[in-house]
Structure 1
Amino acid sequence: MLDDELCYRAVGSRDSRFDGIFYSGVTSTGIYCRPSCPARTPKRENIRFYRSAAEAQSAGFRACRRCRPDTTPGSPEWNVRADVTARAMRLIADGVVDREGVHGLADRLGYSERQLHRSLVDEVGAGPLRLARSQRSHTARTLLETTTLPITEIAFAAGFASVRQFNDTMREVYGSTPTALRTRAAKVAGKSRTGGRAEDIAVCQGPAGTVQLRLAHRRPADILGLLQFLAVRAVPGVEEVVGTTYRRSVSLPHGPAVVELTPATGWVHAVIRLTDPRDLTAAVARCRRVFDLDADPGAVDAVLGSDPALRPLVEATPGTLLPGTVDGHELAIRGVLGQQVSVAAARTIAGRLVVAHGKPLDAPVGTVTHTFPHVDELASVDPATFPMPRSRQRTLHEVAARLADGRVRLDPGADRDAAERELQEIPGIGPWTSSYVRMRALGDPDVFLPTDLGVKHGMQALGLEPAPNAVAEHSQRWRPWRSYALMHVWAAATNASAT
């Protein structure tokens, strides 16, 4: 539950740490804002607080044109929690309601539509349709401001059932027609090119065929450290890191895409080349997951920094992030490839799989030429053709088969405990692989790998007992952020080997 007095103090101090955690509606103006909105702080009697943008919209407020509350980072709560509400929020962010409806969302979660609606209203103040509608309006606004697509095409690409519904929603949420939003964005972009402040623009104009936008995150955030982690593991043909830009292919519901992510101050510049504009919502959600952009690094550092062993690392590298993935199936396959081999060897094997079974892109970008092989393809081929020992050939084939037929689920709404249990039922999958997949594919912030060789070396570098039982016991003080602690421990091992 929101503490109104705490929320009002956050609004009064314009504290950006609360952006995306709650929203404030001002009754005297009829608008809702993010806590860090630079506008004059409203009187206490004129302000109301809401748990989601959708709840504020349901109460009759429209989005502030100055602070753009729809572009805030997502609530970190949905990354931490593993209950049905959190799983539903992750699936809604991925666009499942737009593609499959509320029935499809409820079916994925194993709940009735009524149970799911009640849970979401109780937790975030809005049901799945209202939450999806709020997200739809943000997608539409992004397309209006960053592409030259006809407005009618944008309406359906964003997931609206009719142009009339689209127009009504945009007027309700933003207090403007779609045409007016596009015109205003063009004027602002022109102002930035003639000396205005470009950082005040939440989204940027892009060339035809691409969408460019800014993905907000909380500070501090060690995105450069995350880039280094991804660069070492980049699969040839699928990923590359050039300077400070991470580029990769992504398989989306309506076709492949190529995304480019480049860190800036307070946000990440994203360039998304889509086959179909209907995939924008899913593409943005997956970009945010791979860079952990909805995390609350301050909360993580406060816990990890309280341990004297980790404090020097936290102080040296504040805002360590957890590298995610754009596709849980891909991460599971790569987890098997990485068993009992070095990171470099796993990368080489993955590159060979891409050449043999990946789908070539119609328009390669840089060295990104293919999408990662789909599990359906890997499940249909002779496992003897996989470039690895026979036992891992069988494991890889079985993992692909169970992912393809749905016996193992690794989508954003998957139950983390069930997924780990189902993975360990596969011959050749042990606690290390299943935990690694749980951490990166499902974004679990509280995973640790006590038997990992890198953890052993990292614990020794920190002056701690490296035996697995001792490691597991010591890691309890890092809960619920053991996945982030693992990144620090691995970094300690890397630093020790370099000296």
Structure 2
Amino acid sequence: MTPSGERVYRPPAAISVHQILSGLRRGGSDPCFRTTPGGPVRRATRTPDGPALLLVTSRPSAGEVEATAWGPGADWVLDGLPLLLGDHDEPAAFKPRPEHPRLVEAWRAHRGYRIPRTRAVFEALAPAVLEQRVTGQEAWRAWRVLVTRYGEPAPGPEGDGMFVPPDPAGWRQIPSWVWLKAGVDEARRRALLSAARVAGRLEQTVGLPHDEAERRLRSLPGIGVWTAAEVRQRAHGDPDAFSWADFHVSRNVSWALSGQVLDDAGCAELIECYRGQRYRVQKLLELGGNMRPRRAPRMTLPTHLPR
């Protein structure tokens, strides 16, 4: 199939395409995302104009990024390529403090990281809702099951085996027993379907001030501080959207910065000096592999369907 469009983006400074787009992947077998070390990144997405497959190839020696797209939404994703790769981001506004050596090291090692902005709010919200209150493994399985069954094959020859997520109407048509079989409880199902009913208004939050975008997201039933942050990190490109109420994030960040494992309140006090850039702190430490020591046995995943 002939590509629907091609584009070349020349970022103002060297960037790491794989690091920037890594946060959009939902598990190692995400049907919407595919990459290989040193190779291009493929991302299947749904746009206001329809489905699209985007293939992004970094050419660091030439200082440019090549992108090819297929499908009705090709022009939309290509027009948004600079934002997807963090053209809006201002990493120069961030300066780690010398008393936080792990953060300084991560910042130096990942100078090519930028915070992406997909502009696809509902598409970021759906998997975030599936990840509420469960392990990543459980959530990623549910995402894979539902997308491959109710999404549609990605357009173009590079999308073999990949799928575009369902549109909001498609999510609403999934039978209740399928949600149950995918391991999604009633609370998460209701939250996702409530968001699907107002998906058009959710897309209007792109471009709003970050605090107003958060307020509107959290006005939805079942959408709290954590889920709103997950959406803002990806769809809005918010450098301050820290993942509060996550089981691990505050503990990992506080340990990396202070050597102490703290809860949300303690971590908030510790990273107040980075207000406006707190998600960048979280992501840089994550890229640097800064995880607190964990010696307890792994949680046993449930083997029964939710009631």
User: Per the shorter chain, which TM-score range?
Assistant: 0.7 to 0.9
Alignment of 1:352-431 (within 5 A): 352-361=145-154, 363-386=156-179, 387=182, 388-404=184-200, 406=201, 408-410=202-204, 412-431=206-225
CA contact (8 A) 2:56 2:67 kept: yes
Cα displacement (A) at 1:494: 5.0
CA contact (8 A) 1:249 1:257 kept: yes
In 2, the alpha carbon distance for the partners of 1:367 and 1:208 equals 15
User: 1:454: which partner in 2?
Assistant: 249
Deviations 1:395-419, CA, capped at 9 Å, x for gaps? 1211212225x3x445533453343
Distance 1:416 1:379, change over 3 A: farther
CA contact (8 A) 2:217 2:228 kept: yes
In 1, the alpha carbon distance for the partners of 2:242 and 2:49 equals 35
The residue identity in structure 2 corresponding to 1:308 is H
Give the secondary structure class of the aligned counterpart of 1:275: coil
Give the secondary structure class of the aligned counterpart of 2:19: helix
Larger Rg: 1
CA contact (8 A) 1:410 1:441 kept: no
One of 481, 485, 495 as aligned partner of 2:277: 481
Deviations 1:203-230, CA, capped at 9 Å, x for gaps? xxxx943433321223243333334444
One of 470, 484, 488 as aligned partner of 2:266: 470
User: 2:66: which partner in 1?
Assistant: 269
CA contact (8 A) 2:57 2:66 kept: yes
Give the secondary structure class of the aligned counterpart of 1:304: coil
Deviations 1:93-135, CA, capped at 9 Å, x for gaps? xxxxxxxxxxxxxxxxxxxxxxxxxxxxxxxxxxxxxxxxxxx
Cα displacement (A) at 1:361: 4.0
Q: Percent identity?
A: 22
Alignment of 1:12-23 (within 5 A): none
Give the secondary structure class of the aligned counterpart of 1:346: helix
User: 1:328: which partner in 2?
Assistant: 121
Cα displacement (A) at 1:363: 4.0
Give the secondary structure class of the aligned counterpart of 1:485: helix
Q: TM-score, normalised by structure 1?
A: 0.51
Give the secondary structure class of the aligned counterpart of 2:147: helix
The alignment status of 1:213 with 2:34, answered yes or no, reads: no
Cα displacement (A) at 1:381: 4.0
Alignment of 1:208-357 (within 5 A): 208-231=2-25, 233=27, 236-243=30-37, 244-265=39-60, 266-275=63-72, 280=75, 282-300=76-94, 303-304=95-96, 308-309=100-101, 310-325=103-118, 327-357=120-150
In 1, the alpha carbon distance for the partners of 2:132 and 2:254 equals 21
Cα displacement (A) at 1:430: 1.6
Where relative contact order (Cα < 8 A, 6+ residues apart) is larger, the structure is: 2
CA contact (8 A) 1:458 1:493 kept: no
Distance 1:248 1:319, change over 3 A: closer
User: 1:73: which partner in 2?
Assistant: none
Cα displacement (A) at 1:335: 0.9
The residue identity in structure 1 corresponding to 2:194 is E
Distance 1:312 1:360, change over 3 A: closer
Q: TM-score, normalised by structure 2?
A: 0.79
In 2, the alpha carbon distance for the partners of 1:225 and 1:374 equals 27
Distance 1:422 1:242, change over 3 A: same
Cα displacement (A) at 1:259: 0.8
In 2, the alpha carbon distance for the partners of 1:307 and 1:478 equals 13
CA contact (8 A) 1:398 1:426 kept: yes
In 1, the alpha carbon distance for the partners of 2:48 and 2:191 equals 27
In 2, the alpha carbon distance for the partners of 1:219 and 1:477 equals 26
CA contact (8 A) 2:46 2:164 kept: yes
The residue identity in structure 1 corresponding to 2:6 is Q
CA contact (8 A) 1:212 1:272 kept: yes
Distance 1:246 1:305, change over 3 A: farther
Give the secondary structure class of the aligned counterpart of 1:488: helix
In 1, the alpha carbon distance for the partners of 2:19 and 2:97 equals 18
The residue identity in structure 2 corresponding to 1:320 is Y
Give the secondary structure class of the aligned counterpart of 1:373: coil
CA contact (8 A) 1:237 1:367 kept: no
Distance 1:291 1:307, change over 3 A: farther
Cα displacement (A) at 1:492: 4.9
Q: CA RMSD in A?
A: 3.0
Distance 1:285 1:412, change over 3 A: farther
The structure where helix makes up a greater share of residues is 1
Give the secondary structure class of the aligned counterpart of 1:261: strand
Distance 1:459 1:426, change over 3 A: same
CA contact (8 A) 1:213 1:269 kept: yes
The residue identity in structure 2 corresponding to 1:353 is L
CA contact (8 A) 1:220 1:298 kept: no
Which structure 1 residue ranges, 5 or more long, are not aligned?
Answer: 1-206
CA contact (8 A) 2:31 2:161 kept: yes
Alignment of 1:76-87 (within 5 A): none
Cα displacement (A) at 1:283: 1.7
In 1, the alpha carbon distance for the partners of 2:7 and 2:253 equals 38
CA contact (8 A) 2:44 2:163 kept: yes
CA contact (8 A) 1:219 1:297 kept: no
CA contact (8 A) 1:336 1:396 kept: yes
